[in-house]
Amino acid sequence: MLPLDFILFLQIIIFLFITPGTPRIVIVSYSMNYGVRNCIWTALGDITANFIQATLVIFVLGSFFSDNPTFLNFFKWIGVIYLFYLAFDVYKSSPKDINSKIISSKSIFSFFKDGFLVAGTSPKAWLFFPLVFPQFIDFNSNYIVQFVILITTYIILDFLSLIGYAMLAQKLITWIKTNPKTINTISASVLVLIAVIIIVTQQY
């Protein structure tokens, strides 16, 4: 059986995925610096973290995070520190030449790790999965099947949207190749801005 209000769930997550957020800023920057192929590992790290978050919320933690804001605050500050680190890393990286066939020295694990940590330490994700995700599951019915449908839909659409951003970024790089440091500066600035907004607005 389909989960409760499945169409509404689709509308909500599609809106979330097309709205630029931290994972998509990272993907855009990595696409321009390292190429779309390497972004696949970052996207896989992102959806792996989301899968673990959803599984913990539905089968283990329940309303734990809602009732214990200290833990959300902990993830918030871990995420903020990592965003500052990523901003610095993005700013100092050298943009990839679109005609270059040189393979990046950044490891697959590093790409995966960055995607995993950005998604895994996101307070928004830790709020979405315990507060919104369960609303679409009828726990009086076969909730395991409903969970599988919801999380599969979520991670597939999330992955496709991330790769879509990466591919779009590759198109944009031809517009800025005369000033290759521009996108790094913009991306790093946006990451810092997001970190500051999280510090100021997300209080638990």
Q: What are phi and psi of 89, to 5 degrees?
A: -65, -40
Tokens linked to 161? 């949207």
End-to-end CA distance of the chain: 36
Whether 53 and 126 have beta carbons less than 8 Å apart is answered as yes
* Structure-model confidence comparison of residues 132 and 30, the more confident one: 30
Whether 50 and 154 have beta carbons less than 8 Å apart is answered as yes
Report the pLDDT averaged over residues 37-49: 95
Whether 93 and 172 have beta carbons less than 8 Å apart is answered as no
Tokens linked to 189? 């600035």
Instruction: Give the helix, strand, coil percentages of the chain, each rounded to 5.
Output: 80, 0, 20
User: Is the pLDDT assigned to residue 101 strictly greater than 60?
Assistant: no
Give the pLDDT score at 204: 52
* Rounded Cα distance, 20 and 28, in Å: 10
Whether 123 and 79 have beta carbons less than 8 Å apart is answered as yes
Q: What are phi and psi of 14, to 5 degrees?
A: -65, -40
* Rounded Cα distance, 29 and 139, in Å: 41
Give the pLDDT score at 63: 57
**pLDDT confidence bin for 41, thresholds 50/70/90:** very high
Q: What percent of the chain has pLDDT over 90?
A: 24
